[in-house]
Amino acid sequence: MSPTHRRGERAISAIVAAVIIVVIIAAAAASYFFLAPTSQGIQTTTPPKTVEIVFGATLSMTGQLQAFGQEQNWTLSYAVQSINDLGGIPLSDGTRGIVKLVVLDDKTDPSVAQSNLQTLASQYHANVIMGELGGVQDSVAQQFASRNQIPYIGPVYTSVAKTCADCSNAWIFSPFHNETNEAHIFFNWFRTVDPSTPSHNVTVAFFGEGDPAAQANNLGGEAYARTLGYAVCTCDGEHGPPTRLCAKGMAPHTRNRRCAVRNPRSRGCWKSLRGSDVRLPVAAQRSLRRKTSGQEREQF
């Protein structure tokens, strides 16, 4: 996927996330405040004009994934400010819900994210946990929210939350597909472009990333690619050298193979393709031209 395409998708994700928050807040807040049982019985006093609804998020504001965290922080802040500027969320009893956003930096560290979630629940009494696009804490936050029965709203639905023995999907809300769906969608399309056949062997290279959602995406993608008859090779990390299997799969003697590149952001892996007679999809070629020098380009 080219950088321009990725930037476009991120911009769309930010806009969509802001709109989704506006739509979902009312339902989540109403469910939390007015559908839960109370021991006080029927209220005889006039309800307050406003109530505070705390949205908590642990985001990667620093560290390797800070681009995701800072983007999400801007999106959440913009959405919350817009809602509050309009007077808050109209609730069923005539009051207004004013949203308070609490964002803690997990430094791209799952252990810090876990501690942040505890703080959001115990110190800030978060009514809702917000997720992050591509952050390390997606699976951590979803498990925490589910176990503590706090609604989780985020763009990613991780496989870990689905397989957790004591987790309940009833507390996890995500408007987008999970990683396995994403991998299947890609290959359902790609096999219409370049199917692997006995006379036309196709090798697919996976360029791995470190966060849980990306790892699950790669695992799901590799498994599904094999069922469709593709050979699979994996490159380690975004900046490290390719694995032995990946290097072998792209070796010069494997003539007439084509390589579909997913997550094409690793400069180290790009360099491993030189001289391998690998032909890339158009989008990948465009990304490659932006990443390599003129001398490297000529070898493709």
- Residue 291's CATH number: 3.40.50
Is residue 300 pLDDT above 60, yes or no?
A: no
Same domain, 186 and 257: yes
Same domain, 62 and 127: yes
The CA distance from 91 to 30, in Å, is 6
Per-residue pLDDT at 4: 47
Sign (positive/negative) of CA torsion 159, 160, 165, 171?
negative
Q: What is the mean pLDDT of residues 161-190?
A: 75
| Range from 68-72, 104-108, 216-220, 243-247 carrying the lowest mean pLDDT | 243-247
More confident residue, 110 or 100: 100
Same domain, 16 and 75: yes
- Domain of 151? 3-36+47-173
Same domain, 158 and 18: yes
Same domain, 69 and 152: yes
Q: What is the mean pLDDT of residues 184-206?
A: 88
> Given the structure tokens 């876990």, which residue do they identify?
114
The chain-wide mean pLDDT, for the chain, equals 70
Sign (positive/negative) of CA torsion 224, 229, 230, 234?
positive
Percent of the chain at pLDDT exceeding 90: 23
Among 123, 142, 173, give the residue marking a domain's end. 173
Instruction: Using alpha carbons, select from 114, 157, 112, 160 the residue that is nearest to residue 132.
Output: 157
pLDDT (tens digit per residue) in 208-265: 666 666 777 788 888 999 999 998 887 654 434 444 444 444 444 333 333 444 444 4
Same domain, 257 and 146: no
Q: Return the CATH number at 84.
A: 3.40.50.2300
Among 150, 173, 196, give the residue marking a domain's end. 173
Same domain, 209 and 149: no
More confident residue, 200 or 213: 200
More confident residue, 80 or 158: 80
Q: Which residues pair with 258 in a beta bridge?
A: 202, 279
Among 173, 202, 225, give the residue marking a domain's end. 173
Which of 8-17, 50-59, 210-219, 279-288 has the highest average model confidence (pLDDT)?
A: 50-59
Quote the number of domains for the chain: 2
Per-residue pLDDT at 107: 92
The CA distance from 229 to 194, in Å, is 11
Per-residue pLDDT at 106: 92
Q: What is the mean pLDDT of residues 46-50?
A: 68
Q: Is 207 in contact with 263 (CB distance < 8 Å)?
A: yes
Same domain, 162 and 204: no
| Range from 61-70, 107-116, 162-171 carrying the lowest mean pLDDT | 162-171
Establish if 288 belongs to a structural domain. yes
Q: Model pTM? A: 0.54
Same domain, 66 and 189: no
Per-residue pLDDT at 218: 81
Establish if 42 belongs to a structural domain. no
Same domain, 7 and 122: yes
